[in-house]
């Protein structure tokens, strides 16, 4: 599974930071048509497309290696195990973890958060303790804590958002009370695009002795992340939102915390010794990885990370910031688009939620689809936030490394045409 040539950063920034034409050639799906129109894929916050190197890695694994990891003594098992662990090392490096053993493979970011809620939460959260979340959380970082609070009698408190869609941190000192045991928040909003000041929140939480969990599902794919400089205790993210296959997520945790936690799932692989009436646990990270893992998809995530490393996360961020600034400017110029979230590209990522007149997001998404433009419509797994924003749903366009200004122009022209069409039918 050799790396495809994709060193891309362009020195002359005239046409943007990335050589998009070169990048686009690495993504087979971008060649397809939808309803006779060239696909414009703007649903990257839901999942990103996969470069050829990732697709080939999957085929290569099943064609040439396919074996169970960690247990076999034959050549295939050894190769599979080593590739499986190489991804872990690369992932650890990607987010700045101290060591690979601090990266736990899960099914997705949701499972990573559930792992913390069950293994850490049920041991450390008691009646009267407080869990601090934010008003903009995705259900993935909301429901596990609602369930935990109900079970333990802990209380939930929320960091509010202001009318701009940013966290209002003025009252943070009072929200993070001395009885706060956990502060869990998203680093980038999947609805508003807002980039939250993770370092500042973590520092305040630690001053109160609270543990922190960062939901990085939307941030790790789109900006440089360093869990050590953030000093995050837990960091959850997902492979499929960053060029990798579905079915693989990650939990980063500081070793001293992970070591003190009990397992989440139990069974094969995660044990040290089992007798008929006794079991104790394997070392990190295996303690948290019961059963045969998603070997092929983990292995195929490696070329995704290599791809992002080659492009460079600074360049990814800058490309998306430019695109977002371009798109926001054009959308605001139209005069009939209501945008949710900050409009300054310095404080947000490339997920743009919007409403056009009174056109429902489903109608908008269907009409965009007939023009080959893929967007997301609905509540984006953030029902409480929708209620806070006073809407039942929004349409969301979200960008990644392969999106172009031309695609945004096409999207903008479609908004104009759809509005005209819908007011006349």
Partner 1 sequence: MSDMLDELYRDVIMDHYRNPRGKKKLDKSDIHSEGKNPSCGDELEMDLQIKDGIIEDVHVGCVGCAISVSSGSMLAEVIKGKSIDEVKKIAEVVKKMLKGEPIPDDIEIEMGDLDALEGVKKFPVRIKCALLSWTTLIDSIDTVADNKERAFSTTE
> Contact residues for partner 1 (CB under 8 A)?
35, 360-363, 366-367, 370-371, 377-379, 383, 386, 392-393, 417-418, 421-422, 425
- φ/ψ of residue 337, rounded to 5: -105, 125
For 290, the token pair is 């019961």
DSSP 179-220: TEEEEEEESB-TTT-BBP-HHHHHHHHHHTT-EEEEE-TTTT
Instruction: Closer to partner 1 by CB, 4 or 391: give it.
Output: 391
Max CA-CA distance within the chain?
Answer: 74
Instruction: Closer to partner 1 by CB, 241 or 371: give it.
Output: 371
Instruction: Closer to partner 1 by CB, 119 or 189: give it.
Output: 189
Least Å from the CB of residue 45 to partner 1:
16
Instruction: Closer to partner 1 by CB, 182 or 389: give it.
Output: 389
Distance from C-alpha of 319 to C-alpha of 104, rounded to nearest angstrom:
30
Instruction: Closer to partner 1 by CB, 346 or 425: give it.
Output: 425
Distance from C-alpha of 268 to C-alpha of 165, rounded to nearest angstrom:
45
Instruction: Closer to partner 1 by CB, 58 or 377: give it.
Output: 377
Side-chain half-sphere exposure of 294, counting CA atoms within 13 A: 18
Instruction: Closer to partner 1 by CB, 139 or 206: give it.
Output: 139
Euclidean distance between the first and the last CA atom of the chain, given in angstroms as a whole number: 52
Q: Where are the alpha helices (DSSP H) in 245-404?
A: 255-260, 295-311, 313-334, 361-369, 383-389
Residue keyed to tokens 């060649």: 31
Q: Name 81's Cβ contacts closer than 8 Å, sequence gap at least 6.
A: 69, 70, 72
Residue 279: strand, helix, or coil:
strand
For 255, the token pair is 């070793």
Question: Long-range contacts for 276-283 (Cβ within 8 Å, ≥24 apart)?
Answer: 283/101
Least Å from the CB of residue 191 to partner 1:
12
Instruction: Closer to partner 1 by CB, 115 or 386: give it.
Output: 386
Known active-site residue 166: no
Contact 149, 131 (CB under 8 A): yes
Contact 406, 385 (CB under 8 A): no
DSSP 112-124: HHHHIIIIIIHHH
Least Å from the CB of residue 418 to partner 1:
7
If phi over 0 gives left and psi between -120 and 50 gives alpha, with beta otherwise, what is residue 220?
A: alpha
* Active-site residue, from 101, 205, 243, 381: 381
Least Å from the CB of residue 369 to partner 1:
9
Least Å from the CB of residue 421 to partner 1:
4
Least Å from the CB of residue 365 to partner 1:
9
Contact 20, 404 (CB under 8 A): yes
Catalytic residues: 381
């Amino acid at each position: 599974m050799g790396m495809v040539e994709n060193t891309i950063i362009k020195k002359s920034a005239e046409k943007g930071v990335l050589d998009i034409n070169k990048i686009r050639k690495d993504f087979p799906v971008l060649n397809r048509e939808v309803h006779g129109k060239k696909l414009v894929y703007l649903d990257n916050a839901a999942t990103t497309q996969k470069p050829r190197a990732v697709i080939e890695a999957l085929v290569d694994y099943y064609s040439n290696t396919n074996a169970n990891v960690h247990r076999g003594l034959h050549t295939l098992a050894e190769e599979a195990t080593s590739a499986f662990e190489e991804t872990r090392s690369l992932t650890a490096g990607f987010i700045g973890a101290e060591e690979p053993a601090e990266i736990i493979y899960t099914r997705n970011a949701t499972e990573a958060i559930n792992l913390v809620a069950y293994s850490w939460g049920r041991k450390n959260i008691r009646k009267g303790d407080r869990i601090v979340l934010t008003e903009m959380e995705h259900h993935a970082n909301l429901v596990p804590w609602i369930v935990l609070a109900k079970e333990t009698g802990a209380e939930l408190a929320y960091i509010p958002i202001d009318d701009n869609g940013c966290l209002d941190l003025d009252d943070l000192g009072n929200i993070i009370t001395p009885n706060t045991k956990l502060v869990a928040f998203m680093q980038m909003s999947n609805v508003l695009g807002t980039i939250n000041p993770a370092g500042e929140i973590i520092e305040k939480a630690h001053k109160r002795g609270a543990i922190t969990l960062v939901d990085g599902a939307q941030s790790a794919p789109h900006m440089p992340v360093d869990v050590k400089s953030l000093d995050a205790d837990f960091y959850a993210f997902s492979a499929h939102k960053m060029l990798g296959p579905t079915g693989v997520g990650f939990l980063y945790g500081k070793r001293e915390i992970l070591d003190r936690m009990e397992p989440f799932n139990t069974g094969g692989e995660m044990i040290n010794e089992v007798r008929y009436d006794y079991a104790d646990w394997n070392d990190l990270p295996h303690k948290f990885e019961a059963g045969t893992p998603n070997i092929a998809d983990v292995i195929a995530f490696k070329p995704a990370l290599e791809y992002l490393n080659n492009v460079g996360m600074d360049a990814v961020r800058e490309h998306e910031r430019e695109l977002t600034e371009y798109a926001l400017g054009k959308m605001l110029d139209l005069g009939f688009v209501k945008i949710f979230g900050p409009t300054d590209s310095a404080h947000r990522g490339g997920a743009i939620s919007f409403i056009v007149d009174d056109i429902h997001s489903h109608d908008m998404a269907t009409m965009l689809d007939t023009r080959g433009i893929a967007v997301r419509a609905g509540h984006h797994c953030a029902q409480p936030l929708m209620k806070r924003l006073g809407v039942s749903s929004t349409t969301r366009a979200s960008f990644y490394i392969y999106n172009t200004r031309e695609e945004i122009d096409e999207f903008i022209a479609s908004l104009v045409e759809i509005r005209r069409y819908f007011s006349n039918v």
